[in-house]
Amino acid sequence: AVTLIANVQSKRIVRTPQGTVRELMYYLNDGLFGSFDWLNPRKYPPQVIPGNRQLVRSREQFSTTLWGPTCDSTDLILSGMAMEELQIGDFLVFDDMGAYGTVLATNFNGFAKPKVMVYISRRSWEQLELEKRNRRTKRKVH
């Protein structure tokens, strides 16, 4: 399973003529030319979870658009979803992104491919170590 954690790098507030917030746009450090390349987010929108524990949640939700970093008009991740307001520096968690996002990522428009960090739980690591030791023991016996 692949979980993507993306960072909010900039924010745009779109207001109505009366001055109320109509839409919030966030620009993330990853987009369609990175981990979202294989995904059709308009047809199959990924689940988005605000990732900051210190995130102060307002009760108000806004129409929200998420963009990738490239300034390309096709670097649109999600549009029109209701979300609470985020701040620059906040993180968004995209669960179940699949294994192909980083394989198809490019350095389009000078933006580096996303950094991959591998995580394994202590319990899983210990099980793998035990399996490795068992295999060595079986080889020596035969």
Tokens found for residue 43: 């047809």
Mean pLDDT of 126-141: 80
Total domain count for the chain? 1
pLDDT at position 1 is 67
Percent over 90 (pLDDT), the chain: 24
pLDDT beyond 70 at 73? yes
Phi, psi (rounded to 5 degrees) for 35: -70, -20
Output the pLDDT for position 15: 96
pLDDT reported for residue 11: 96
Q: What is the structure's pLDDT at 25? A: 97
Helix spans in 2-111 (H): 101-104
CA distances 87 to 35, 120, 136, Å, are 22, 29, 51
Contact between 71 and 10 under an 8 Å Cβ cutoff? The reply is no
Question: What's the mean per-residue pLDDT of the chain?
Answer: 80
The Cβ of residue 50 has, within 10 Å, a number of other Cβ atoms equal to: 15
Residue written as token pair 């490795």: 132
Nearest to 71 by CA among 24, 105, 28, 132: 28
What does the pLDDT read at residue 32? 82
Which residues are catalytic, by number? 71
As a whole number of angstroms, the distance between CA 138 and CA 29 comes to 47
Q: Which helix (H) or strand (E) holds 131?
A: helix 122-141
pLDDT band for position 59 (50/70/90)? confident
CATH number for the domain harbouring residue 111: 2.40.37.10
Range of the domain at 99: 4-141
